[in-house]
Amino acid sequence: MKPIDVRPQSLEEENLEFDFSGPNADPGPAFPLHRREFLKLVGGGIFIFCASPRVLDGQEGRRPGREDRELPEDFNAFLRIGEDGTVTGFTGKIEMGQGVVTSLAQMLAEELEVSLDSVRMVMGDTGLCPWDRGTFGSMTTRFFGPPFRAAAAEAKAVLLELASQRLGLPRERLKIKDGAVSEVGGAKTISYAELARGRKILRHVKGARPESAAGFTIMAKPVLRRDSRDKVTGRARFAGDMREPGMLCARILRPPAHGARLISVDTSGALEIEGAQVVRDGDLIAVLHSEPEAAARALAKIKTQFEPSGFSADDKTIFDHLLKVAPAGRVIAEGGKPSDGEEASEYRVDATYLNSYVAHAPMEPHTALAKVEGSKLTIWASTQTPFPLRDAAASLLGMAPDNVRVITPFVGGGFGGKSNIRQALEAARLAKLTGKPVQVAWTRAEEFFYDTFRPAAVVKIKAGMRKSGLITFWDYSVYFAGERGSEQFYEIPNHRTMAYGSGWGASEGAHPFGTGPWRAPANNTNSFARESHIDMLAAKAGLDPVEFRLKNLKNERMRRVLQAVAEKSGWSPARAPSGRGYGVACGIDVGTCVAHMAEVAVDKSTGKIVVKRVVCAQEMGLCVNPEGATIQMEGCMMMGLGYALSEQIRFTGGKIHDVNFGTYSIPRFSWLPQIETLIVDAKDSPAQGGGEPAIICMGAVIANAVFDATGIRLLQLPLTPERVKDALARA
């Protein structure tokens, strides 16, 4: 991406045309800058402001303990056609690998008929972009895409209107193409630059209609990432690559375990390192130095005594602990009378499913650089939530939010974990205390220690069916995972789904450390349980797992997707266990239907599972960039192998034992299965989420394939060699 030129430009004041529709003409406090200041920063041209509808986010949108601020009334994104004719999109969303820097630009390029390369994107900068809640929940394309496209359509209408005046032609005689408006069948033409030069037109979206799918030339077409060139040359900047004159690197004293209390500390040793500075402010004890290694050496010289925490559960006893402390349940869905269904059932299957804490482990650990200048604070941070960070930093340091600017460079992976803004607040605090620019770059051990893990969870299912294979009742209880994906979509006359505790927040005393949203929060846990259970019912009924699902499924979208994956994978019906090692699973996440087929081989002597092939079909409504969506599907499947096969945080009380990749094993090249993807066409229906759905079935599809290969049913994730061997020994 080219950096945007934000130098103030001189403009003729009389050219200002304010045209804010709606009752609140002023952008108001939701916007970081006063309008005049803002216009000075972003220069002249044609501006179209748009707002995504107020979205009642799913649970992943709520951040307990933080201000739950609504989207601003008036706008939360805009585009500009600059005086040089360049189209620039401004949004508080961030790019962390999910590819929206490309797909959002595609939307603008499509509507305005300019080349994709010429579109610029300014993202995640609270000084230049309007307020945004954060980048998570696969919401960018789903909720933010339609208004963004409408803004581009509005810009097109403005351009045609201006060109009509300038060329003296009616609008019907004009068309736009390649950054210019020209006469249909005639010679008259005028570029966007000529139309925008010396002007300042500000408009809200008024109802111009975006292009329909049939007319797409850039959207819904596969496009390569636009940020690749910078990323393959090392030029792409991440938060840790930012430098400021006089910058100090901070290392912060950490407790040995969560909940441990500092009894005594002697920091004198740290000062033996030349140039080291020790800062103590309440609970924050840090060593700062211009060289990161010297800061680390100085930190190691601090002597401490900690009192251990009282939390005693470990990675084996945590499930009993969770069941014991579970709060009252909430009904998520119900229909019919489970007791009637129970009576009508001829076969009965009950089971309890478990999964461990799992780390986000992005390759880039949490990093931030903070600088205080007079009354202003600037933070460069690896964050998924620049605006909530701005507000939290302002409140922490007692500053006005307008005086805090958060700039988000490229983010090196987030997966939900970078909604945790702790490192940036630490940097802000230290910058204020020292008066110098301060970088806080977490080590891998700190990254594991303060990660907001996917919560350990328990799911209990009771279900019954007729001998024919028709499910008659479904009684489902999920503890501590969260409710996303818990509501089943099969045609079951009597059912009830209950959720006890949420995935994070609220449940004091449940988890020994932080938990939080992890790619498709809750749905990995819920889909593992549901689809394993459906498979057990299929086996009991003596039916092929695909046939059994179709028999109990009326949801047309899901039927299509399931049939698509069966066809693409060359599924031939067989009752499991067939010995082939084939598994199937399906699910719904962020509005998207997915189905997976997997083929595994199980080494019975070592217990090792090798996943040989995974096929995924996905129906996601309008797919803006099929190339980007395919990459997300592949990434989901590869990442999902980890929580399915190996990933689990081992701990005793608040002490975390896995603090680096030596013991915490994430997927590697040697695990790479044959991966195949299929996007089921639905481009006339609204866009749904794309960054998360293809991960939700990975636990179940592999567990089901293992059952098909061996006849053993594993009810706990991850499916480690030890668990496979234990189950084989018991069988």
Q: How many residues bind another protein (CB under 8 A)?
A: 58
Closer by beta carbon to another protein, 45 or else 99: 99
Q: Are 699 and 640 in contact (CB under 8 A)?
A: yes
> Binding to another protein by residue 234, rule CB under 8 A?
yes
| Contact status, residue 244 vs residue 407, Cβ threshold 8 Å | no
Among 410, 476, 500, 651, binds another protein (CB under 8 A): 410
Phi, psi of 723 (to 5 degrees): -65, -35
Q: Could you say whether residue 521 binds another protein (CB under 8 A)?
A: no
By the 8 A CB rule, do 497 and 488 touch? yes
CA separation for the pair 446, 422 (Å, rounded): 11
Q: What residues numbered 433-462 form the site for another protein, per CB under 8 A?
A: 441, 443-444
The whole-angstrom separation of Cα 194 and Cα 297 is: 60
Read off the tokens for 343. Answer: 């009576």
* Least distance between another protein and beta carbon 516 (Å): 16
Nearest alpha-carbon partner for 391 in 13, 23, 26, 30: 30
Per rule CB under 8 A, is residue 237 in the interface with another protein? Answer: yes
Instruction: Candidates 54, 171, 177, 231: give the one binding another protein (CB under 8 A).
Output: 231
d(CA 562, CA 600): 19
Report residue 258 as tokens. 């969560």
Quick check: 605 and 616 in contact, CB under 8 A? no
Q: What is the CA radius of gyration of the chain?
A: 28
Please say which residue, 132 or 447, places its beta carbon nearer to another protein. Answer: 447
Residue 245 interacts with another protein (CB under 8 A)? no
The 3-state DSSP class for residue 338 equals helix
Contact between 415 and another protein per CB under 8 A: yes
CA distance 419 to 385: 6
Q: Which two tokens stand for residue 546?
A: 């695909």
Contact between 365 and another protein per CB under 8 A: yes
Give Cα 591 distance to the centre of its chain: 15
Cis previous bond, 718, omega within 30: yes
Q: Give the angle 330-333-338 at the CA atoms, nearest 5°.
A: 100
- Scanning 325-333, 357-365, 422-430, 536-544 for contacts with another protein by CB under 8 A, the matching segment is 357-365
Q: Per rule CB under 8 A, is residue 675 in the interface with another protein? A: yes
Q: Which of 229, 261, 376, 604 binds another protein (CB under 8 A)?
A: 229
Which of 5, 17, 178, 293 lies at the binding interface for another protein (CB under 8 A)? 293
Q: Work out which of 41, 193, 236, 553 binds another protein, going by CB under 8 A.
A: 236
Element (H, E) at 472: strand 471-479
Give the one residue of 208, 361, 379, 645 binding another protein; rule: CB under 8 A: 361
Q: Which is nearer to another protein, 349 or 631 (CB)?
A: 631
Rule CB under 8 A: is residue 637 a binding residue for another protein? yes
Query: Interface with another protein includes 233 (CB under 8 A)?
Result: yes
Of positions 466, 668, 681, 684, contacts another protein by CB under 8 A = 668
Residue closer to another protein (CB basis): 243 or 604: 243
Q: In what order do the strands lie in the sheet with 284-289?
A: 277-281, 284-289, 248-252, 438-441, 367-373, 376-381, 404-407
- Name the segment binding another protein (CB under 8 A); options: 331-339, 387-395, 476-484, 654-662: 654-662
Residue 59 or 367: which CB sits closer to another protein?
Answer: 367
- Residue 633 is encoded by which pair of tokens? 């599907």
Closest contact distance (angstroms) between CB of 301 and another protein is: 16
Q: Of the listed pieces 372-380, 549-557, 634-642, 650-658, which binds another protein according to CB under 8 A?
A: 634-642
| CB closer to another protein out of 85 and 667 | 667
Q: Minimum distance from CB of 236 to another protein (Å)?
A: 5
Contact assessment for residue 96 and residue 412, using Cβ atoms and an 8 Å cutoff:
yes
Binding site for another protein (CB under 8 A): 96-99, 224-225, 227-238, 240-241, 243, 249, 290-293, 361-365, 410-413, 415, 441, 443-444, 627, 631, 634-639, 660-662, 666-672, 675
